[in-house]
């Protein structure tokens, strides 16, 4: 599955199939959250949160691709990601784009 952030695929005509999306809500366990809270006192990168968000983006992308495959798509164009805080230590990540059939 070709996934691009552009609205077109160079040199290819496309048939638009529709919006596809994937989302997930992820959290870190309470002990890691406490450790990250302490880390904010001294500064630095919160590596467990980076890992959580990376896993969430990957899962959201996989779910978006499955939707596109179900429509018979060859590619997803205009892909975007968004995230929002659901509650303390939990975030939703959404991936969305337009499923297309390449000609």
pTM flag (> 0.85) = no
Neighbours of 35 (CB within 10 A): 13
Query: For 14-72, how does the pLDDT look when each residue is reduced to its tens digit (9 = 90+)?
Result: 999 999 999 999 887 655 555 555 555 566 677 778 888 899 999 999 999 999 999 99
For helices 30-42 and 47-70, angle between their N-to-C axes, nearest 10 degrees: 130
Are the C-beta atoms of 59 and 22 separated by less than 8 Å?
yes
Domain ranges in the chain are 2-102
**CATH for 2-102 (3.30.360.10, 1.10.569.10, 3.20.20.70, 3.30.110.70):** 3.30.110.70
Order the strands of the 90-102 sheet from edge to edge: 2-3, 75-87, 90-102, 14-27
């Amino acid at each position: 599955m070709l996934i691009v952030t552009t609205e077109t695929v160079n040199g290819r005509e496309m048939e638009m199939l529709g919006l596809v999306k994937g989302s997930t809500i992820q959290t870190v366990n309470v002990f890691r959250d406490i450790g990250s809270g302490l880390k904010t006192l001294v500064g630095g990168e919160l590596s467990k949160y980076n890992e959580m968000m990376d896993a969430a983006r990957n899962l959201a992308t996989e779910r978006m691709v499955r939707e596109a495959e179900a429509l018979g798509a060859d590619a997803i164009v205009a892909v975007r990601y968004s995230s929002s805080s659901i509650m303390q230590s939990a975030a939703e990540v959404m991936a969305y784009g337009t499923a297309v059939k390449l000609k």
